[in-house]
Amino acid sequence: MDLTPSPGDESFRAEARAWLAAHVPRTPLPSLETAAGFAAHRAWEAELAADRWSVVSWPAEVGGRDCGLGRWLVFEEEYWAAGAPGRVGQNGVSLLAPTLFDHGTPEQRSRVLPPMARGEVVWAQAWSEPEAGSDLASLRSRAVRVAGGWLLGGQKTWSSRAAFADRAFGLFRSDPDAPRAHQGLTYLMFDLRAPGVTVRPIGRLDGKPAFAELFLDDVFVPDEDVIGAPGEGWRIAMSAAGNERGLTLRSPGRYLAAADRLAALWRRQGCPAYAHDRVADALIGARAYHLFTQEAASRFLAGAELGAESSMNKVFWSEYDLALHETALELLNEEGELAEGAWAEGYVFALAGPVYAGTNEIQRDIVAERLLGLPKGRR
């Protein structure tokens, strides 16, 4: 692995840094878990897209810069170091888009990706159900074949961004007679404002609707919104899950910036001794994660696929994120508990990290069985 940046990389970094310095809002945007904040973040996505900074690794014809994975990591470092807003389009950009690049049709990519890049269409993930979360194959929501498309029925839950999003993507059981639970599933996109869709927001600890339940009653979806072949949904979903747990959902740039902010907070609070080791651990952890991701990216660019290492990655960043925010709130004392702000909101979000994208218990099982070769545990 050669981490030496090329002259082109340095030029790209300088261009990104200059653009962000000129455009990042001086006043933090309101929380994207509110209607006003969601609209403000959508406008920010449009501003990024106007100069093709919203999806730098995508091909130019769908709004990107054709920069590839390496420069995407560079951009992420600059983005978070500049204190830029959280990305409201992350579900679409990080989860649906890679799936469409791998399994979608040219028509789907040209129709779906440009408005996603501009923030005009924000996507929610509709995978989890009341009895199917980490055990995703046990899902019951159905897709029934009709002329020209499918009728969706059932319930999804814990759908991130769904309270304000425009469309969603998820798995549905299209062949209830398939011999195994992960067979006979189909991956579909659908409109959250279509007839038959009911969106019921779920309040977070702070009362903001970060998630929603979706109730689907004979929701029609045309054939053009099926991703891949009907019945092949599990295979397609697993490639999306690898992206979620692995490289794209939590870039190292986010944690490098957060660890530096934590160290600055510690110094402002008088360098209390009780937090010295934890702040040091946060700084070391951010840099270790950065190197791990660089190594994974190098292997990926050399042709390797993201495998069970994604599960190890997910356990690390979710537990790291929680520990970092807990340390920040302790340094802030009652101010951190009571005030609205990045640390308080970040802590509430970090609490969910060990659960979403597949619980950490399940990820540890995957690491034990597939990376370490240990026997299957009891479930």
Give 231-245 pLDDT, tens digit per residue: 988 888 876 665 555
CATH of domain 250-372: 1.20.140.10
Q: How many CB atoms lie within 10 A of CB 130?
A: 13
Name the amino acid, one letter, at 17: R
SS3 196: coil
298-309: burial string, b at 16+ Cβ within 10 Å, e else: eeeeeeeebebb
Average pLDDT over residues 198-218: 89
Res. 18: pLDDT tops 60:
yes
> Closest by alpha carbon to 29, among 44, 49, 14?
44
Strand bridging mode 149-156 / 211-222? antiparallel
Q: How many CB atoms lie within 10 A of CB 330?
A: 15
In sequence order, which ranges of 51-154 are alpha helices (DSSP H)?
A: 68-81, 90, 97-103, 106-117
| Dist CA 370 CA 308 (whole Å) | 7
Which of 216-220, 339-343, 359-363 is the least confident region?
A: 339-343
Tell which wins on pLDDT, 98 or 299. 98
Binned at pLDDT 50, 70 and 90, residue 144 comes out as very high
Structure tokens at 215: 């109730």
The pLDDT of residue 206 is 77
Enter the pTM of the model: 0.86
Strand pairing partners for 142?
153, 173
Strand pairing partners for 186?
172
Tell which wins on pLDDT, 352 or 280. 280
Q: How many CB atoms lie within 10 A of CB 376?
A: 8
| Dist CA 51 CA 60 (whole Å) | 11
What would the DSSP string read from start to end of 245-311? HTTSSS-HHHHHHHHHHHHHHHHHTT--GGGHHHHHHHHHHHHHHHHHHHHHHHHHHTTPPP-THHH
Q: Which helix H or strand E contains 328, and what residues bound it?
A: helix 309-332
Q: What is the pLDDT of residues 184-195, one digit of tens each?
A: 999 999 999 999
Binned at pLDDT 50, 70 and 90, residue 3 comes out as low
DSSP assignment letter at 120: S
The pLDDT of residue 306 is 67
Catalytic residues: 244
Average pLDDT over residues 163-181: 90
Tell which wins on pLDDT, 251 or 227. 227
Q: Does domain 123-231 have CATH number 3.30.9.10?
A: no
What would the DSSP string read from start to end of 28-62? PPPPTTSHHHHHHHHHHHHHHHHTT-SSTTS-GGG
DSSP assignment letter at 163: T
